[in-house]
Amino acid sequence: MTTSPGTPESSGPHPNHDRGLEFDVSTLLSRRRTFGVLFGGAATAALAACTPTDGAGSGTATSSASSATPSGTASSSTTAAASPSAAASPTVTRAIAECGVEIPQETAGPYPGDGSNGPNVLEASGVVRKDITSSFGTSGTKVDGVPLTVTLTLLDNANGCVPLSGAAVYAWHCDRDGKYSLYDSGLENENYLRGVQEADANGQLSFTTVFPGAYNGRWPHIHFEVFESLSNATSAGQLLAVSQIALTDAACRDVYATAGYETSAANFPNTTLKSDNVFGDDGGIYQLATMTGSAKAGYTAALNVTI
Protein backbone atom coordinates (compact mmCIF):
# COMPACT_ATOMS: atom_id res chain seq x y z
CA MET A 1 0.00 0.00 0.00
CA THR A 2 1.49 3.35 -0.98
CA THR A 3 1.55 6.09 1.58
CA SER A 4 2.63 9.68 1.13
CA PRO A 5 3.18 11.23 4.55
CA GLY A 6 3.77 14.94 4.50
CA THR A 7 2.64 15.44 0.91
CA PRO A 8 0.84 18.64 -0.10
CA GLU A 9 -2.94 18.72 -0.01
CA SER A 10 -3.79 16.23 -2.75
CA SER A 11 -6.88 18.08 -3.94
CA GLY A 12 -4.78 21.07 -4.98
CA PRO A 13 -2.42 21.43 -7.93
CA HIS A 14 0.49 19.04 -8.00
CA PRO A 15 3.58 21.15 -7.14
CA ASN A 16 5.43 22.21 -10.28
CA HIS A 17 3.32 19.99 -12.51
CA ASP A 18 4.45 19.58 -16.11
CA ARG A 19 4.84 23.02 -17.59
CA GLY A 20 5.48 22.25 -21.24
CA LEU A 21 8.43 21.56 -23.47
CA GLU A 22 10.04 24.97 -22.96
CA PHE A 23 10.37 24.27 -19.23
CA ASP A 24 12.92 21.51 -19.59
CA VAL A 25 14.20 21.38 -23.15
CA SER A 26 17.40 23.23 -22.26
CA THR A 27 18.19 20.70 -19.53
CA LEU A 28 17.61 17.75 -21.82
CA LEU A 29 19.66 19.18 -24.66
CA SER A 30 22.59 20.04 -22.42
CA ARG A 31 22.70 16.51 -20.98
CA ARG A 32 22.47 14.44 -24.14
CA ARG A 33 23.38 14.42 -27.81
CA THR A 34 20.36 13.40 -29.79
CA PHE A 35 19.89 11.08 -32.73
CA GLY A 36 18.94 13.11 -35.81
CA VAL A 37 16.80 16.16 -35.12
CA LEU A 38 15.45 15.64 -31.60
CA PHE A 39 13.24 18.66 -31.23
CA GLY A 40 13.05 19.65 -34.89
CA GLY A 41 10.05 21.05 -36.64
CA ALA A 42 9.30 17.69 -38.24
CA ALA A 43 8.47 16.14 -34.89
CA THR A 44 5.06 17.78 -34.59
CA ALA A 45 2.66 14.87 -34.69
CA ALA A 46 2.37 11.16 -33.89
CA LEU A 47 0.85 8.02 -35.29
CA ALA A 48 -2.65 7.02 -34.20
CA ALA A 49 -3.10 4.48 -31.45
CA CYS A 50 -3.23 0.79 -32.28
CA THR A 51 -5.23 -2.11 -30.94
CA PRO A 52 -3.53 -3.84 -27.97
CA THR A 53 -1.95 -7.21 -28.60
CA ASP A 54 -3.75 -8.82 -25.69
CA GLY A 55 -7.08 -8.10 -24.07
CA ALA A 56 -7.81 -7.42 -20.44
CA GLY A 57 -10.64 -9.84 -19.90
CA SER A 58 -14.19 -9.44 -21.09
CA GLY A 59 -14.68 -5.94 -19.77
CA THR A 60 -16.08 -3.01 -21.68
CA ALA A 61 -13.85 -1.73 -24.47
CA THR A 62 -13.08 1.97 -24.88
CA SER A 63 -11.57 3.07 -28.16
CA SER A 64 -9.26 6.01 -28.80
CA ALA A 65 -10.39 8.79 -31.11
CA SER A 66 -7.06 8.41 -32.88
CA SER A 67 -7.53 4.82 -34.01
CA ALA A 68 -7.51 5.99 -37.62
CA THR A 69 -4.73 8.09 -39.13
CA PRO A 70 -6.02 11.48 -40.34
CA SER A 71 -6.18 11.78 -44.10
CA GLY A 72 -3.03 13.00 -45.73
CA THR A 73 -0.69 12.05 -42.89
CA ALA A 74 0.40 8.64 -44.11
CA SER A 75 2.77 8.44 -47.03
CA SER A 76 1.99 5.74 -49.57
CA SER A 77 5.68 5.41 -50.36
CA THR A 78 6.71 4.78 -46.77
CA THR A 79 3.83 2.39 -46.26
CA ALA A 80 4.83 0.36 -49.28
CA ALA A 81 8.46 0.25 -48.19
CA ALA A 82 7.67 -1.26 -44.82
CA SER A 83 7.16 -4.95 -44.25
CA PRO A 84 6.74 -6.68 -40.86
CA SER A 85 8.58 -9.82 -39.94
CA ALA A 86 6.95 -13.18 -40.56
CA ALA A 87 5.92 -13.32 -36.89
CA ALA A 88 4.41 -9.82 -36.89
CA SER A 89 1.09 -9.53 -35.09
CA PRO A 90 -1.95 -7.77 -36.62
CA THR A 91 -1.06 -4.85 -34.33
CA VAL A 92 2.34 -4.42 -35.98
CA THR A 93 0.93 -4.89 -39.48
CA ARG A 94 -1.64 -2.18 -38.83
CA ALA A 95 0.92 0.12 -37.23
CA ILE A 96 3.11 -0.04 -40.33
CA ALA A 97 0.13 0.51 -42.63
CA GLU A 98 -0.77 3.69 -40.73
CA CYS A 99 2.79 4.93 -40.37
CA GLY A 100 3.88 8.37 -41.51
CA VAL A 101 3.32 10.77 -38.60
CA GLU A 102 6.00 11.19 -35.95
CA ILE A 103 5.28 11.27 -32.23
CA PRO A 104 5.08 14.84 -30.84
CA GLN A 105 8.02 15.81 -28.67
CA GLU A 106 6.81 16.78 -25.20
CA THR A 107 8.15 17.84 -21.85
CA ALA A 108 9.70 15.22 -19.59
CA GLY A 109 8.20 17.22 -16.75
CA PRO A 110 9.75 18.01 -13.38
CA TYR A 111 9.85 14.39 -12.18
CA PRO A 112 11.73 12.36 -14.83
CA GLY A 113 14.22 10.59 -12.56
CA ASP A 114 16.61 10.35 -15.52
CA GLY A 115 19.39 12.49 -14.13
CA SER A 116 18.28 15.66 -15.94
CA ASN A 117 16.52 16.98 -12.85
CA GLY A 118 17.89 15.39 -9.70
CA PRO A 119 17.84 11.61 -9.14
CA ASN A 120 18.84 9.16 -11.88
CA VAL A 121 17.06 5.80 -11.70
CA LEU A 122 18.34 4.77 -15.13
CA GLU A 123 21.75 3.85 -13.79
CA ALA A 124 20.32 1.74 -10.96
CA SER A 125 20.56 -2.04 -11.15
CA GLY A 126 17.06 -3.45 -11.56
CA VAL A 127 15.50 -0.67 -13.62
CA VAL A 128 15.18 -2.95 -16.67
CA ARG A 129 11.88 -4.69 -15.88
CA LYS A 130 8.41 -5.20 -17.28
CA ASP A 131 6.51 -5.04 -13.98
CA ILE A 132 6.96 -1.57 -12.49
CA THR A 133 4.40 -1.79 -9.71
CA SER A 134 7.04 -2.16 -6.97
CA SER A 135 10.14 -0.32 -5.90
CA PHE A 136 13.43 -2.15 -6.38
CA GLY A 137 16.74 -1.97 -4.54
CA THR A 138 16.44 -1.02 -0.87
CA SER A 139 12.62 -0.88 -0.88
CA GLY A 140 10.01 -3.38 -1.94
CA THR A 141 6.98 -1.10 -1.62
CA LYS A 142 4.20 -2.15 -3.99
CA VAL A 143 1.58 0.31 -5.16
CA ASP A 144 -2.15 -0.35 -5.27
CA GLY A 145 -4.44 0.41 -8.17
CA VAL A 146 -6.38 -0.94 -11.12
CA PRO A 147 -4.04 -3.14 -13.24
CA LEU A 148 -2.86 -1.60 -16.49
CA THR A 149 -0.74 -3.10 -19.28
CA VAL A 150 0.89 -0.56 -21.59
CA THR A 151 2.13 -1.68 -25.02
CA LEU A 152 4.13 0.56 -27.36
CA THR A 153 4.99 -0.21 -30.99
CA LEU A 154 8.09 1.69 -32.13
CA LEU A 155 8.52 2.47 -35.83
CA ASP A 156 11.49 3.96 -37.69
CA ASN A 157 10.08 6.64 -39.99
CA ALA A 158 13.43 7.45 -41.59
CA ASN A 159 13.78 3.89 -42.89
CA GLY A 160 10.35 3.22 -44.32
CA CYS A 161 8.47 2.70 -41.03
CA VAL A 162 10.09 -0.62 -40.22
CA PRO A 163 9.81 -1.80 -36.60
CA LEU A 164 12.46 -0.14 -34.45
CA SER A 165 13.81 -3.33 -32.89
CA GLY A 166 16.47 -3.00 -30.23
CA ALA A 167 15.38 0.47 -29.15
CA ALA A 168 14.46 0.94 -25.50
CA VAL A 169 11.80 2.88 -23.61
CA TYR A 170 11.95 4.37 -20.14
CA ALA A 171 8.41 4.90 -18.81
CA TRP A 172 7.20 6.54 -15.61
CA HIS A 173 4.02 7.97 -14.13
CA CYS A 174 2.36 9.00 -10.87
CA ASP A 175 0.58 6.64 -8.47
CA ARG A 176 -3.17 6.58 -7.91
CA ASP A 177 -2.85 9.55 -5.53
CA GLY A 178 -1.07 11.64 -8.15
CA LYS A 179 2.34 11.35 -6.44
CA TYR A 180 5.72 10.60 -8.03
CA SER A 181 8.34 8.28 -6.59
CA LEU A 182 11.81 9.79 -6.04
CA TYR A 183 10.34 13.30 -5.72
CA ASP A 184 7.22 13.68 -3.57
CA SER A 185 7.59 14.10 0.17
CA GLY A 186 8.01 10.71 1.85
CA LEU A 187 8.66 8.98 -1.49
CA GLU A 188 12.26 10.07 -2.05
CA ASN A 189 13.54 6.53 -1.41
CA GLU A 190 10.92 4.83 -3.57
CA ASN A 191 11.33 4.16 -7.31
CA TYR A 192 8.11 2.37 -8.22
CA LEU A 193 6.24 3.12 -11.45
CA ARG A 194 9.53 3.55 -13.33
CA GLY A 195 11.17 1.04 -15.63
CA VAL A 196 12.95 0.30 -18.89
CA GLN A 197 12.10 -2.25 -21.59
CA GLU A 198 13.73 -3.21 -24.91
CA ALA A 199 11.72 -3.45 -28.12
CA ASP A 200 11.51 -6.89 -29.73
CA ALA A 201 11.94 -7.73 -33.42
CA ASN A 202 8.53 -6.20 -34.13
CA GLY A 203 9.37 -2.98 -32.32
CA GLN A 204 7.07 -3.82 -29.43
CA LEU A 205 7.46 -3.68 -25.66
CA SER A 206 5.10 -3.73 -22.70
CA PHE A 207 4.91 -2.60 -19.09
CA THR A 208 2.75 -4.00 -16.30
CA THR A 209 1.65 -1.20 -14.01
CA VAL A 210 -1.38 0.40 -12.34
CA PHE A 211 -3.73 3.04 -13.69
CA PRO A 212 -2.29 6.50 -12.89
CA GLY A 213 -4.19 8.98 -10.79
CA ALA A 214 -5.36 12.47 -11.75
CA TYR A 215 -3.94 15.65 -10.26
CA ASN A 216 -4.99 19.21 -10.93
CA GLY A 217 -3.43 20.85 -13.94
CA ARG A 218 -2.85 17.68 -15.98
CA TRP A 219 -4.91 15.16 -17.92
CA PRO A 220 -4.07 11.56 -16.80
CA HIS A 221 -0.92 10.51 -18.63
CA ILE A 222 2.21 8.36 -18.78
CA HIS A 223 5.64 9.78 -19.61
CA PHE A 224 8.17 7.96 -21.76
CA GLU A 225 11.58 8.45 -23.35
CA VAL A 226 12.83 6.42 -26.32
CA PHE A 227 16.53 5.53 -26.53
CA GLU A 228 18.50 4.13 -29.44
CA SER A 229 19.42 1.03 -27.43
CA LEU A 230 19.07 -0.60 -24.04
CA SER A 231 22.66 0.31 -23.17
CA ASN A 232 21.94 3.95 -23.95
CA ALA A 233 18.80 3.88 -21.82
CA THR A 234 20.57 2.51 -18.78
CA SER A 235 23.33 5.09 -19.05
CA ALA A 236 21.02 8.01 -19.90
CA GLY A 237 22.64 8.10 -23.33
CA GLN A 238 21.46 8.72 -26.89
CA LEU A 239 17.86 9.88 -26.81
CA LEU A 240 15.46 9.59 -29.75
CA ALA A 241 12.20 11.01 -28.41
CA VAL A 242 10.42 12.32 -25.32
CA SER A 243 6.64 12.14 -25.24
CA GLN A 244 3.55 11.25 -23.22
CA ILE A 245 0.59 8.88 -23.48
CA ALA A 246 -2.90 10.27 -22.85
CA LEU A 247 -5.45 7.91 -21.30
CA THR A 248 -9.04 7.87 -22.54
CA ASP A 249 -11.90 9.71 -20.86
CA ALA A 250 -14.07 6.60 -20.58
CA ALA A 251 -11.34 4.53 -18.93
CA CYS A 252 -10.51 7.32 -16.48
CA ARG A 253 -14.13 7.75 -15.45
CA ASP A 254 -14.49 4.00 -14.97
CA VAL A 255 -11.34 3.64 -12.87
CA TYR A 256 -11.79 6.78 -10.79
CA ALA A 257 -15.20 5.58 -9.67
CA THR A 258 -13.52 2.71 -7.77
CA ALA A 259 -12.27 2.61 -4.17
CA GLY A 260 -8.81 4.09 -3.71
CA TYR A 261 -9.13 6.66 -6.48
CA GLU A 262 -11.27 9.14 -4.57
CA THR A 263 -8.71 11.96 -4.89
CA SER A 264 -8.47 11.35 -8.63
CA ALA A 265 -12.26 11.37 -8.95
CA ALA A 266 -12.30 14.84 -7.39
CA ASN A 267 -9.41 16.16 -9.51
CA PHE A 268 -10.27 14.62 -12.89
CA PRO A 269 -13.12 17.01 -13.87
CA ASN A 270 -10.87 20.03 -13.36
CA THR A 271 -8.68 19.49 -16.47
CA THR A 272 -9.78 18.54 -19.97
CA LEU A 273 -7.69 17.32 -22.90
CA LYS A 274 -8.17 20.74 -24.50
CA SER A 275 -7.12 22.67 -21.39
CA ASP A 276 -4.16 20.38 -20.64
CA ASN A 277 -0.89 22.24 -21.24
CA VAL A 278 0.69 19.27 -23.05
CA PHE A 279 -2.13 17.69 -25.03
CA GLY A 280 -4.23 20.84 -25.44
CA ASP A 281 -2.79 21.97 -28.77
CA ASP A 282 -4.44 19.09 -30.63
CA GLY A 283 -6.55 17.40 -27.98
CA GLY A 284 -4.00 14.62 -27.67
CA ILE A 285 -5.20 12.97 -30.88
CA TYR A 286 -1.78 11.55 -31.74
CA GLN A 287 -0.98 10.43 -28.21
CA LEU A 288 -4.34 9.10 -27.07
CA ALA A 289 -3.99 5.39 -26.36
CA THR A 290 -6.36 2.75 -27.60
CA MET A 291 -7.74 1.17 -24.44
CA THR A 292 -9.70 -1.99 -23.69
CA GLY A 293 -10.85 -3.58 -20.46
CA SER A 294 -12.64 -2.47 -17.32
CA ALA A 295 -11.84 -1.31 -13.82
CA LYS A 296 -12.85 -4.74 -12.56
CA ALA A 297 -10.76 -6.78 -15.02
CA GLY A 298 -7.93 -4.31 -15.59
CA TYR A 299 -7.07 -2.24 -18.65
CA THR A 300 -4.70 -2.40 -21.58
CA ALA A 301 -3.42 0.68 -23.35
CA ALA A 302 -1.61 0.69 -26.69
CA LEU A 303 0.06 3.37 -28.77
CA ASN A 304 2.10 3.44 -31.98
CA VAL A 305 5.24 5.56 -31.60
CA THR A 306 6.76 6.65 -34.91
CA ILE A 307 10.23 8.18 -34.69
Rounded (10°) CA dihedral 153, 154, 160, 166: -120
Task: List pLDDT tens digits, range 271-305.
Answer: 999 999 999 998 888 899 999 999 999 999 999 99
CB contact at 8 A, 244 and 288? no
Three-state DSSP at 202 gives coil
- The pLDDT of residue 183 is above 70: yes
Residue 297: predicted pLDDT: 98
Rounded to whole angstroms, how far apart are CA atoms 149 and 205? 10
Task: List pLDDT tens digits, range 195-210.
Answer: 999 999 999 999 999 9
- The pLDDT of residue 66 is above 50: no
Name the pLDDT band for 255 (thresholds 50, 70, 90). very high
| pLDDT, mean of residues 140-164 | 95
CB contact at 8 A, 129 and 170? no
| pLDDT, mean of residues 168-176 | 98
Name the pLDDT band for 83 (thresholds 50, 70, 90). very low
